[in-house]
Chain A
Amino acid sequence: MASASLLKSSPVLDKSEWVKGQTLRQPSFSVVRCHPATATSALTIRAGSYADELVKTAKIVASPGRGILAMDESNATCGKRLASIGLENTEANRQAYRTLLVTAPGLGQYISGAILFEETLYQSTTEGKKIVDILVEQKIVPGIKVDKGLVPLAGSNNESWCQGLDGLASRTAAYYQQGARFAKWRTVVSIPNGPSALAVKEAAWGLARYAAISQDNGLVPIVEPEILLDGEHGIDRTFEVALKVWSEVFFYLAENNVLFEGILLKPSMVTPGAECKDRATPQQVADYTLKLLHRRIPPSVPGIMFLSGGQSEVEATLNLNAMNQSPNPWHVSFSYARALQNTCLKTWGGRPENVKAAQETLLLRANANSLAQLGKYTGEGESEEAKKGMFVKGYVY
């Protein structure tokens, strides 16, 4: 372990001038990295003082039979959801809907983490109870979306990049104070548009920087490079692109000294494009996706929480189940938004008298996906609504 005086004299580590009020933290986790190009005393510390907590949190979120409820829709996106059931996009309605979700009794049996939008992280129920506190009582780890959305990537082929690094350190520190213990950042890659090497590099590098900053401030970063479903391409092409994207992501994560034992991944499954004539069975999706994971994901990553990206509720569950038919070196689970909430939202319809029924449908889906995580889902008793595809062409999140 490096001595304190050695750390003190390092120019790289003397942050006191530019990080007001923060003292140099001593690492509790014993991996130190040496930067080859600078002098002997330059040491970078992996994950700083939160290392042990990050590892613990990641393990809890990646616990058997459980996955993540993604409920971090931005106000604009939440507005679309509410509009689909004839509701106005007001804070009260958003509050009512999120309260419905987090108070579903026994949700914590199937859900280990919930991703929140900033508004919700600071929100309380109409009775004045903090949403974050309700989640913790339910044994659900609160998480927070920290990216600031996708914007056009100049010089690319009409592709996007994800913003949000500015001020991220102070934001993540504040979110930690508020009770968040993991973060999420969603960037996208589009196959019909290339993807260009520039877009892939930017997506991967942005994720790596976000991950390093999050860990530095106590939040487990969920690393999400979504390869969009849009397109006519076949499953082989998706596989090809995914291999490239994940190779870049992991290389940059390593370069940014991210602690792999303290991250979670949120990939898209390997499927044909939404407009491809050839469909794939859950077995094929599982085979391709597992092959991708085996070729790209180091075993130190504790959990892989798939996004649903427009698949129907049942499809998303079936595919997850197919991937859990034999043991994997990482926890393979879900981080679903639409694929958990769709039927629930429709059942609620904005009416207080429907809350209980809506919560039951949420628990039904959560239970189904919990079984899928254990490889035990049988598909009995699924409704027609649950089987409806939710792909929206050119979907803007």
Chain B
Amino acid sequence: MSAFKSKYQDELIANAAYIGTPGKGILAADESTGTIGKRLSSINVENNEDNRRALRELLFCTPGALQYLSGVILFEETLYQKTASGKPFVEVLKEGGVLPGIKVDKGTVELPGTNGETTTQGLDGLAQRCQKYYEAGARFAKWRAVLNIGLTEPSQLAINENANGLARYAIICQENGLVPIVEPEILVDGPHNIEKCADVTERVLAAVYKALNDHHVLLEGTLLKPNMVTPGSEAPKVAPEVIAEYTIRALQRTVPPAVPAIVFLSGGQSEEEATLNLNAMNKLKGKKPWSLSFSFGRALQQSTLKTWAGKPENVKKAQAAFLARAKANSEATLGIYKGDAKLSEGASESLHVKDYKY
């Protein structure tokens, strides 16, 4: 059967293409309440609704930042929040030409009989939730599936189960007007080399696209959010050009050109590392029929967070840090980043947390 025809078809295609606009990318600001709590506690800020609101306002209202963004992924709470002066965040984003997105998964649970592998929950009632989010202004969604590399991982079960979950999520989103970001993250944890990562990434992406095709997902109305292909966290590092080569090759082997844009996750890379790698990918010569951009969380917010430290008097400086990273990544999508973004404290700091629970 061909792709089913959603009544939102044209809108999905247009929005997906817009997100892949060269020079723009996605700010992933969809940390769950628990996760954002960890961020806030790292700067000694209390995890309450107002502080969470204040952080997001700091980011979204940074003067001049929104031009570098095509989308922002929000957590449910944030979708309904407003600035201190009462303006809904969704409106702030829309006025800035940025599409609001919404995290719709409900976290991971272990797969019994495996070595700690997981699947992602959130399909129950998803259609209704998507409708609600669409009404609130969201135009794209995100669902994070997680796999890891180990002696016997990822298992065929984990691959099949996560690919299927992503496909079910994707078609439900499209039915309800949201462009699904398909995110099969293969964790960087481990001593494996880059070849192993490439092999696993190719196998996982082949399974993901098989599932998407079987479920009649309209590829032109989706985005892919993969890991870059890198050595494991415990293996020696390689140059950005090497990461670019392996990553592009893996994508060339698995992602049909109908997919308009690939928005990489940063997965524990430092801010600067993530930008340099993205830049290298956009400089690399070769067949790249999709835009290559960013969907960064930690790699866009780390120095901003540290600079803010929860203090109103630091907001301007923190916003300057955020602007610098947003601009740097914008340049990286065009392959013109010169590595000269003013490095704030923390920009080179690795953001890898072993066995990271999102």
Judged by a CB distance under 8 angstroms, whether A164 is at the interface is no
A299 and B287 contacting across the interface, CB-CB below 8 Å: yes
B287 and A33 contacting across the interface, CB-CB below 8 Å: no
How many angstroms from the CA of A344 to the CA of B56 in the assembled complex?
A: 72
Contact among A1, A34, A255, A329 with B289 in the assembled complex (CB-CB below 8 Å)? A329
B226-277 at interface with A (beta carbon < 8 Å): 249, 252-258
Judged by a CB distance under 8 angstroms, whether A80 is at the interface is no
Q: Which of A58-66, A91-99, A129-137, A236-244 contacts B (4 or more CB under 8 A)?
A: A236-244
Given the known A-B contacts A294-B258, A298-B252, are A1 and B195 also in contact in the complex, defined by CB atoms under 8 Å? yes
Judged by a CB distance under 8 angstroms, whether B91 is at the interface is no
How many angstroms from the CA of A243 to the CA of B152 in the assembled complex?
A: 33
How many angstroms from the CA of A240 to the CA of B3 in the assembled complex?
A: 8
Contact among A30, A247, A260 with B253 in the assembled complex (CB-CB below 8 Å)? A260
List the A residue with the shortest CB-CB distance to B152.
A36
B185 to chain A, nearest CB (A): 17
Residues of A within 8 A of B156 (CB): 36-37
Residues of A within 8 A of B153 (CB): 36
Residues of B within 8 A of A298 (CB): 252-256
Interface centre among A39, A293, A294, A300 (most CB of B within 10 A): A300
Judged by a CB distance under 8 angstroms, whether B84 is at the interface is no
A37 to chain B, nearest CB (A): 7
Judged by a CB distance under 8 angstroms, whether B165 is at the interface is no
How many angstroms from the CA of A61 to the CA of B214 in the assembled complex?
A: 32
Judged by a CB distance under 8 angstroms, whether B203 is at the interface is yes
A234-263 at interface with B (beta carbon < 8 Å): 236, 239-240, 243-244, 247, 250-251, 254-255, 260-261
Residues of A within 8 A of B220 (CB): 295
Report the tally of A-B residue pairs with Cβ distances under 8 A.
Answer: 87
B25 to chain A, nearest CB (A): 21
How many angstroms from the CA of A243 to the CA of B258 in the assembled complex?
A: 13
Residues of B within 8 A of A294 (CB): 256-258
How many angstroms from the CA of A254 to the CA of B254 in the assembled complex?
A: 9
How many angstroms from the CA of A329 to the CA of B287 in the assembled complex?
A: 6
Residues of B within 8 A of A250 (CB): 206, 209-210
Residues of B within 8 A of A260 (CB): 252-253
Judged by a CB distance under 8 angstroms, whether A392 is at the interface is no
Given the known A-B contacts A36-B154, A247-B213, A251-B210, are A296 and B256 also in contact in the complex, defined by CB atoms under 8 Å? yes
A298 to chain B, nearest CB (A): 5
Judged by a CB distance under 8 angstroms, whether B219 is at the interface is yes
A283-306 at interface with B (beta carbon < 8 Å): 291, 293-300
How many angstroms from the CA of A294 to the CA of B255 in the assembled complex?
A: 10
How many angstroms from the CA of A40 to the CA of B213 in the assembled complex?
A: 32
How many angstroms from the CA of A115 to the CA of B254 in the assembled complex?
A: 28
Contact among A31, A247, A251 with B198 in the assembled complex (CB-CB below 8 Å)? A31
How many angstroms from the CA of A299 to the CA of B287 in the assembled complex?
A: 6
A195 to chain B, nearest CB (A): 12
State the interface size on chain B (CB cutoff 8 A): 35
B167 to chain A, nearest CB (A): 12
B206 and A297 contacting across the interface, CB-CB below 8 Å: no
Judged by a CB distance under 8 angstroms, whether A32 is at the interface is yes
How many angstroms from the CA of A34 to the CA of B219 in the assembled complex?
A: 29
How many angstroms from the CA of A300 to the CA of B249 in the assembled complex?
A: 8
How many angstroms from the CA of A251 to the CA of B257 in the assembled complex?
A: 16
A30 and B287 contacting across the interface, CB-CB below 8 Å: no
State the interface size on chain A (CB cutoff 8 A): 33
A33 and B199 contacting across the interface, CB-CB below 8 Å: yes
B195 and A31 contacting across the interface, CB-CB below 8 Å: yes
B199 and A295 contacting across the interface, CB-CB below 8 Å: no
Residues of B within 8 A of A240 (CB): 1-2
How many angstroms from the CA of A37 to the CA of B209 in the assembled complex?
A: 22
Interface centre among B153, B198, B256 (most CB of A within 10 A): B256
A299 and B199 contacting across the interface, CB-CB below 8 Å: no
How many angstroms from the CA of A291 to the CA of B218 in the assembled complex?
A: 11
Judged by a CB distance under 8 angstroms, whether B196 is at the interface is yes
A243 and B256 contacting across the interface, CB-CB below 8 Å: no
Residues of A within 8 A of B3 (CB): 243, 295
B199 and A31 contacting across the interface, CB-CB below 8 Å: yes
Judged by a CB distance under 8 angstroms, whether B344 is at the interface is no
0/1 string, B149-173, CB within 8 A of A gives 1: 0011111100000000000000000
How many angstroms from the CA of A283 to the CA of B294 in the assembled complex?
A: 36
A254 and B195 contacting across the interface, CB-CB below 8 Å: no
Contact among B200, B255, B287 with A34 in the assembled complex (CB-CB below 8 Å)? B200
Residues of A within 8 A of B175 (CB): none
How many angstroms from the CA of A33 to the CA of B195 in the assembled complex?
A: 8
List the A residue with the shortest CB-CB distance to B198.
A31
B261 to chain A, nearest CB (A): 14
Given the known A-B contacts A30-B195, A32-B199, A295-B219, are A37 and B254 also in contact in the complex, defined by CB atoms under 8 Å? no
Interface centre among A244, A247, A297 (most CB of B within 10 A): A247
B102 to chain A, nearest CB (A): 26
Residues of B within 8 A of A32 (CB): 195-196, 199
How many angstroms from the CA of A291 to the CA of B151 in the assembled complex?
A: 40
A299 and B257 contacting across the interface, CB-CB below 8 Å: yes
Residues of A within 8 A of B209 (CB): 247, 250-251
How many angstroms from the CA of A329 to the CA of B195 in the assembled complex?
A: 25
A34 and B199 contacting across the interface, CB-CB below 8 Å: yes
How many angstroms from the CA of A1 to the CA of B254 in the assembled complex?
A: 22
Judged by a CB distance under 8 angstroms, whether B202 is at the interface is yes
B259 to chain A, nearest CB (A): 9
0/1 string, B1-35, CB within 8 A of A gives 1: 11100000000000000000000000000000000
List the A residue with the shortest CB-CB distance to B254.
A298
B210 and A33 contacting across the interface, CB-CB below 8 Å: no
How many angstroms from the CA of A33 to the CA of B199 in the assembled complex?
A: 5
How many angstroms from the CA of A254 to the CA of B214 in the assembled complex?
A: 16
A1-29 at interface with B (beta carbon < 8 Å): 1
A61 to chain B, nearest CB (A): 17
Residues of B within 8 A of A296 (CB): 213, 256
Residues of A within 8 A of B254 (CB): 254, 298
A37-B156, A240-B1, A298-B252 known; 12 other A-B pairs, CB under 8 Å? Answer: A31-B198, A33-B203, A36-B153, A36-B154, A37-B152, A240-B2, A243-B2, A243-B3, A247-B213, A296-B256, A298-B254, A299-B257
A–B Cβ pairs within 8 angstroms, 17 of them: A32-B196, A33-B199, A34-B199, A37-B156, A236-B2, A239-B2, A243-B213, A247-B209, A247-B210, A260-B252, A260-B253, A294-B256, A296-B213, A297-B257, A298-B253, A299-B288, A329-B289
**Closest 5 pairs (CB-CB, A-B):** A300-B252, A254-B206, A247-B213, A299-B287, A294-B258
**Which residue numbers of A lie inside 8 Å of B, CB to CB?**
1, 30-34, 36-37, 39-40, 236, 239-240, 243-244, 247, 250-251, 254-255, 260-261, 291, 293-300, 329-330
